[in-house]
A and B are shown apart, each in its own frame.
Chain A
Amino acid sequence: MPNPATVRRGTPRTPLLVLFALVFLLLSSAFAQDLSDMSWDDIVTQAKAEGEVTWYVWYLQDDLRRAVRAFEEEYGIRVRIPEGTMAGNADKLFAESGRSVGDIDVFAWGFDLYATVELPALFQPLTMLPVDDDRVNVINDVDGGEYVLAYWGNQSGIVYDPEHVAEADLPQHPEDFAAFWNANPGRFGFNYESGGSGPSFYQNVLRVLSGLDFSDGSADSERLAALRPGFDFFNASAAQYVITTSNADNIIRVSDRELWLAPAWEDHLAGLQSRGEVRPELKFYIPQMGMNGGGNGVAIPNNAPRPAAAAVFVNWLTSAETQTMFNRDFGTAPMHALADDTFALVPIEQRAFQVAAAAQPFRDQMVAAFIDEVILER
């Protein structure tokens, strides 16, 4: 028989729990209300009441946690940045898109990837933000429309050690790279996975040597066959270059004087240099054959649990001041027309060599073919 005392102690908790649940549900529904008919001041007030915002971003989480302290101090809203990979965060976004209230307030993704989904089905229009025409919502012909804003401009290129390679001798085209490999065996390395800088290098070599239009995403056998001269190009000099393991490995091995040239992201290199983790004298350039550039964008999921805080955070993230700070601290290309870009690693004229990443599904097929035809042949 149950102890009556136990039963008595347990009974009053039940209504309390129900009350908490009701309050939580009411608050959730209040927060989830449409922000478009609210003034910006009201949105900021509601954001402060929400008190917290969760930003799903897949890289430099520790550094970004430090960077968002300025926002936390200004608004009194805590920013949580969970650990996670880009693919993992995207899987979570898709998997919980059917829930009425999800976990993600602000979602970061490679800007070109937004073109692969139906934006209104996943994200809220950002029309609640104060009007600012200097923000960026189009990168490499991918239009984020009302739903996505760019917050991080990045550019892949080549990091080099000026102790060993003079600026005038930097390879600019595929044949220059082949000449460099043969003249300096084992001094050039690139990754084919774990980061996009190496893939940007080999895919642009394939683009130049095949003459294909990479903005066309169709992946028929004829287009894939056209990549053959590029595969032969890499196989002919296979012993002269090194395959590395990641973006970071590229930069570290150049800094360690093992390699002289390697693909890298401009912001990645700038961040490592500013933190003193690699040699400050390393330099960066974009070869004339072109390498991928673009950026990352943020959007607010339709089921964001704290939409007002998310809106205030996106407004801060895409402001000229924050973009200037990102340029200074991370070496990013600012995504606001009025931001200062004096800390960029490359002169403005080299930006002309920026190209868009190959369109899907062609890109995935090209990666698979490159692994089969070049990497497995080593």
Chain B
Amino acid sequence: MTRRRWFVVPLLLAPGLGLILALVGSVVVIAIGQSFGLFSIFGGGAFSLEPWSETLDRRVYWRSVRYSLQVGVVSAFASVALAYPLALWLRKPFQGAAFIGAVLKAPLLVHGLVAAFLYVNVISYHGIFNQFMQAIGVWDGPRRLQNDPGAVGVYILQTWKNMPFALLLLTGAVRSISDDVLDAARDLGAGTWARFRRIVLPLTTSVMQAALVIIYIGALADFSFQVIAGPINRMSLSQLMVFFKDRGDWHAAAVVGVTLMVLALAGAAVLTLFIQLIGRGWPRR
């Protein structure tokens, strides 16, 4: 490449790539810098490993890491697992399929905060669910379901919110599978499960992978569901970040923020690798 080209090529890339690097890169650089004591909000700041060593030394940090990873992974797999049968059911048009599809996708239009408040109202001590369980004689008295320590509420809300997104992606992928392929498999004696495992799954791997990764990243960074309906004996990473920030400890908050970015990236890579490894084995089984 001539010297002129060395100059022209970056210049031509600058409007697109430069904007991305400037907008995304500056945020990442500031977060990383702040986690090392730089870019103090009150001015000044000096490089230090102290924010990392202090934060990594906290039990609350490690519990948040484990909990957020758990929420991210469980929510992603639960959403996709629920979306598959629905996508297959809606694969062939039938009367009312469009309406059912629209209803199933409705949670996409409801903000997570609204859903969380609604959920807490339903399961509250004297809420509809408690009243119903007592009315049908299953429970003798009201039970405390709010902020359950097992985070069941968070998983329900995450799955409720993210399943429609997975359904949206998978419906298209499943519909693109030709009837001829499935009929041929049936003619060769493949049952429902075999057709799903050997044909549907391999042909929708890339879409499932995209759904898993996107849902995982969103659920990993959950704040609203956790704050309203989550367990009180642990914090999600986003909640911990806000907790540190509200105490004026911006450097510790940045450490948590950087952790979230790293876990999002690493988790997405691991999920992709996992699905690709599994996917290779599907047709041979």
Contact = CB atoms under 8 A, between A and B. Distances in A.
A367 B247 CA distance: 10
A212 interface: no
A134 interface: no
B231 to A, nearest CB: 9
Interface stretch (B55-63, B170-178, B272-280): B55-63
Interface string B3-28: 00000000000000000000000000
Interface string B225-254: 001100011100000000101111000000
A95 B147 CA distance: 36
A304 to B, nearest CB: 20
A371 B126 contact: no
B186 interface: no
B124 interface: yes
A245 B144 contact: no
A192 B124 CA distance: 20
Contacts of A194: 227
A242 B144 contact: yes
Contact of B233 (A243, A253, A258): A243
B125 interface: yes
A257 interface: yes
B191 interface: no
Nearest to A91: B41
Interface in A321-376: 364, 367-368, 371-372, 375-376
B149 interface: yes
A87 interface: yes
Given A376-B59, A376-B233, A378-B149, A95 B227 contact: no
Interface string A102-133: 00000000000000000000000000000000
Interface in A176-199: 186, 192-194
A167 interface: no
A242 B63 CA distance: 21
A256 B142 CA distance: 12
A275 B246 CA distance: 29
A352 to B, nearest CB: 31
B42 A245 contact: no
Contact of B125 (A253, A376, A378): A253
A376 B126 contact: no
Interface string A147-173: 000000000000000000000000000
A95 B41 contact: yes
Given A371-B60, A375-B232, A256 B124 contact: yes
Given A364-B247, A372-B59, A375-B233, A94 B144 contact: no
A117 to B, nearest CB: 11
Contacts of B233: 243, 375-376, 378
A218 interface: no
B163 to A, nearest CB: 26
Nearest to A116: B248
B30 to A, nearest CB: 14
Contacts of A85: 246
B41 A256 contact: no
B256 to A, nearest CB: 14
Contacts of A94: 41-42
A85 B247 CA distance: 12
A90 B58 CA distance: 26
Nearest to A252: B124
Contact of B126 (A192, A193, A258, A368): A258
A74 B62 CA distance: 56
Contacts of A242: 144
B41 A376 contact: no
A191 B23 CA distance: 38
Contacts of A253: 125
A257 B63 contact: no
B156 to A, nearest CB: 17
A67 to B, nearest CB: 26
Nearest to A193: B243
A39 B152 CA distance: 64
A194 B228 CA distance: 11
Given A87-B245, A258-B125, A243 B60 contact: no
Most B C-beta atoms less than 10 A away, residue of A253, A367, A372, A376: A376
Given A94-B41, A256-B124, A376-B234, A245 B58 contact: no
B98 to A, nearest CB: 40
Nearest to A243: B232
A194 B235 CA distance: 13
User: 3 closest pairs, A vs B, by CB?
Assistant: A258-B125, A378-B233, A243-B232
Given A94-B41, A256-B126, 19 more contacts: A85-B246, A87-B248, A90-B248, A186-B144, A192-B232, A243-B232, A244-B147, A253-B125, A257-B125, A258-B126, A258-B144, A364-B247, A368-B58, A372-B58, A372-B59, A375-B233, A376-B63, A376-B233, A376-B234
9 contacts: A194-B227, A244-B147, A245-B147, A245-B228, A256-B124, A258-B124, A258-B142, A378-B149, A378-B233
